[in-house]
Chain A
């Protein structure tokens, strides 16, 4: 495979804005098949906006977004999931009034009608989530709104995995979780990656993120300011000082 074939996600000079307020300026980055890539940056840098722009919410005002070589910049939001991209958005956005199981089943929407009707496939996908998050599954008949923060995060990840995405986007999944849960979460992300899913991980928890990532990007005020191999970024004095709390 040459470099071009390896690229799963490519952003070229992407700009985005809320109304007249620009947030992203000429963002260029890529994620290769099988990689874990992390995007770190301070609060308000535009990380969440970048993930949402991939889904056209808001839509990029300039530049191109390609998935597996196919241009998706102007695709309607609901069509993008069908390409094989799933997002665990900021704030989890689970459906609180539905049961855990219903939330998970909603995750299969991007599959073809035929796949969605296949009870064997559905059972296998649910079983996969259950193997990743056994404690979550114990509550599968419970309303999702009654779950703890950690369980809701597991649910949001499980829901995203139900469509067997090729690319999994996560927006600060560790936010608000206790240290023990954060360790478990990153272990699960490693396992998901080992099973063949490419991961693009947005984190303020840069230390942990860079430890499991292959490469990283640093976003400052809507611009990519630094990029490199995760271990190099982890060792970089600048990054340490700005995003790793100095230790």
Chain B
């Protein structure tokens, strides 16, 4: 039976090991920030962090999470202090319908951990989340702004 942490809290999972993490988060933990868009790892709306890496929770079965540390959008900010990616999203006013945006933010937050200053080419290559509303222009600007904010904060 997998034991894992979600946003720092330890949980014991004893249900169907084949159930995707997304449904555990949304329907059993009440963490609804991760969204369902395709259920097949194709859109990224369900992106969370597993051990610090971006992971599509709709295709991540619970069985694969023994000992894992999961962070969702609800655990990304430090209390009322938003994560630099969230700040950048507000500053650039990225969201339209907003449905894809938690997944986008989680994907970008993970990207900035391994690539502190992604180029446009890096963004094109590494960000594969779908935004049906077409917020890509502002989203790209927000990634650059987040990189600046984050390095500014760190220094």
A, B in one complex? no
Where the two chains meet, the residues of B that have a C-beta atom closer than 8 Å to any C-beta of A are none
Where the two chains meet, the residues of A that have a C-beta atom closer than 8 Å to any C-beta of B are none
